[in-house]
Amino acid sequence: MSLSLNDERKRAATPESPAGAEVISLGAGCFWCTEAVYQQLTGVLSATSGYMGGHVLNPTYEQICDDNTGHAEVTRIVYDPAKAPLEKILDTFWKMHDPTTLNRQGADVGPQYRSAIYYETDAQRAIAEKSKAAAQSKFNDPIVTEITKADVFYPAEQYHQDYYRLNKARNPYCKIVIAPKLEKLGMEM
């Protein structure tokens, strides 16, 4: 199936957050990678690629790539805290990327690829700070992950959603970057 240019630029919908669920947005480099990991984590109800943390209203992927909107590529995670406590979500976060590199994950370079935790509540902030401090012992270099109050989440364009699942057989990035992350975490490739 081929998408028209208008379909490709159409934003995805933001999934609902059912009663009892919590939301956190994580930046760990390319959102395709982050989404692919969290879609497989037990207790995660949805993982949506998008943008957060910038100063431009309704940014597009092209604007984000020009490094002038201030946004990070993030994945908005809706989770059931009874099945996936935030501590478990953040434990996966520290394992899936290098939080010691500023504005970079592998070959992906720029402020849109920064390591970031966008919390919704003060309780989440406290858990994130504690988790970051505990994770530091696993890294030689200082963790540069920002922990910031969540602001407006802009879902990415439709063609960025479910990217790994829909493109893993034909996209080299999926094979070279995403699949090894999933393998390292013991997840389905």
Catalytic sites, residue numbers: 30
Between CA 2 and CA 7 the distance in angstroms is 9
Between CA 52 and CA 25 the distance in angstroms is 8
